Each structure stands twice: as C-alpha cells, then as structure tokens.
C-alpha cells in the first residue's frame, strides 16, 4: 500500500540513538578516507558549531533530540530511512519548536541567507509529523560585523519565541569563551578566510579508525552508543540513502 504523505514516521532522536549510530557506522565503513585529511573549513566549522551550541544553551534549553529521522519513498520505489542533523533545537512547548542553523561563513553568503534552505527543509519535514503547529527558524551567524541579511531579515535574541524567521548574531568573543568551557581551542585566526582554506589532518583520526573498523569486531547497540558517536557525526553527511 502506498503512503500518500511525502514523509512519514517523522521523529526527533538523540545523537546516541542506536539506529542512528548504526547508520553512522555503515557510513564510516564506506568512507574511503577513513580518517584522512579533511577540509579545514569542515573541521573548524564543527568546532565552532559545538561552541555556539554551548553559547545558545545560556539563553534557552536546547533539546538533546536534534537528529531528524523520517521515512520517504525513493525513485526506485523503495522506502528509505533518512537522517538530518539540526544544529540546535529549542522545544518552546509541546507543539512549538525553534530550529537553529549555525554558520561560520563569508559576508556575501550571510547577505543571501545561507542556511535558510536547510531550515526550511527541516521545517517542512517536521510539519509532516502533525506533532508541531509552530516552528521558528533561526540563522545563527558568527561574525565581528553584522550585514543586512536578505534585505531586512530581523535581528533577534536567541530566546525570541515570536518571530517566525530571523537572524542571531553570535559575538566571536563569547564563542571563544564558550569554546574554552568545552575545552576547545580555536585557532588564533579562526575568523580569517585563510583559516578555512586547504586540507588539515583529521584531529579525531584515532577515534575515527576505532569507530569505523567494524569488520574485525561486532558491537551490540548499547556498546555503539558511546562518545565516539559525537566525534563521528561531525565527520559525515547526515542524510542517508539506505535502501
């Protein structure tokens, strides 16, 4: 029987969810580089994202359930379970959410609202769950100087629970302090474009190899839910095309 809805079985799960960890392990086995060099911008972006979540948590109560999961029919006619990581979710009440998309990027990208499409896609999928009536969208940009986003997108505080869409400016000095609270050391030039250029050695190479090497040992679901999952999820594309 075909499902009339474009998405179904929509739900939010924590990063430690056993099925999600299993998906990450499968993707780890398929990734050719297996802990090799990564793009500098990817590594730095992951560190900044963690620091921004720490900063946001000082204003709102962020949910641990920030992995969006849903079922969707593929072009080949098969159903697939898909995953998408949301940078931050504030559960305002039982029927209201606020989604945060964190970006460390260039001024021209912020001006055109980079990240908004990701928020819109997550919002559309979450509405299909019928659980939420109100979903707010927040772009979180880390920058010394603010720019005009999409010719007038309102600037909001992190805990604004009224505007449907808006931009939050995260002060770099406060992000550095939040990083320190997590024992994360950001590069001295982390705001400069050159800090995001070229490849860098994977700072979590050993964790990657231990986590990804599934051919020589088997783990049950409880063993898979461990701190390495947090490291691995920052290394992988989140959406699955599993058949």
pLDDT higher than 70, residue 137:
yes
Per-residue exposure over 30-65, b if at least 16 CB sit within 10 Å of its own CB, e if not = eeeeebeebebbebbbbbbbbbbbbbbeeebebeeb
Q: What is the mean pLDDT of residues 60-75?
A: 95
Q: What is the mean pLDDT of residues 118-128?
A: 97
Average pLDDT over all residues of the chain: 84
pLDDT higher than 50, residue 172:
yes
* pLDDT bucket at 154, cuts 50 / 70 / 90: very high
Q: What is the mean pLDDT of residues 116-145?
A: 97
How high is the pLDDT of residue 237? 45
Q: What is the mean pLDDT of residues 56-75?
A: 95
How high is the pLDDT of residue 238? 47
pLDDT higher than 90, residue 135:
yes
pLDDT in tens, 5-26: 788 999 999 999 999 999 888 8
How high is the pLDDT of residue 41? 74
Query: How distant, in Å, are the alpha carbons of 12, 19, 47, 66, 203 from that of 16?
Result: 12, 9, 19, 10, 21
pLDDT in tens, 19-55: 999 988 887 776 655 555 667 778 888 999 999 999 9
Structural domains in the chain, sorted by start: 8-186 (3.90.320)
What is the pTM (predicted TM-score) of this model? 0.80
How high is the pLDDT of residue 35? 53
The percent of the chain in helix, strand and coil, each rounded to the nearest 5, is 35, 25, 45
Q: What is the mean pLDDT of residues 224-232?
A: 52
pLDDT in tens, 76-113: 888 999 999 999 999 999 999 999 999 999 999 999 99
Return the SS3 of 41: helix
pLDDT higher than 90, residue 218:
no
* Sign, CA torsion 85/86/88/94: negative
pLDDT cut 90: percent of the chain above it = 62
């Amino acid at each position: 029987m075909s499902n009339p809805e474009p998405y179904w079985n929509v739900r939010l799960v924590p990063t430690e969810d056993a099925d999600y960890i299993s998906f990450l392990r499968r993707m780890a086995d398929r990734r050719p580089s297996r802990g090799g060099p990564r793009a500098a911008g990817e590594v730095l972006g992951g560190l900044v994202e963690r620091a921004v979540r720490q900063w946001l948590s000082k204003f709102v109560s962020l949910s641990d359930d920030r992995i969006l999961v849903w079922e969707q029919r593929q072009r080949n006619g098969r159903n697939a379970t898909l995953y998408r990581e949301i940078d931050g979710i504030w559960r305002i009440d039982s029927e209201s959410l606020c989604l945060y998309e964190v970006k460390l990027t260039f001024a021209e990208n912020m001006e055109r609202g980079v990240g908004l499409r990701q928020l819109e896609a997550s919002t559309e999928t979450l509405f299909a769950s019928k659980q939420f009536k109100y979903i707010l969208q927040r772009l979180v940009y880390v920058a010394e100087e603010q720019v005009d986003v999409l010719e007038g997108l309102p600037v909001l505080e992190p805990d604004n629970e009224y505007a449907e869409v808006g931009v939050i400016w995260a002060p770099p000095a406060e992000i550095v302090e939040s990083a320190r609270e997590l024992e994360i050391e950001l590069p001295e030039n982390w705001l400069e474009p050159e800090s995001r250029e070229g490849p860098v050695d994977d700072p979590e190479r050993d964790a990657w190899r231990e986590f990804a090497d599934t051919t020589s040992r088997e783990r049950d679901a409880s063993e898979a839910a461990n701190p390495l999952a947090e490291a691995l999820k920052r290394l992988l594309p989140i959406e699955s095309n599993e058949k």
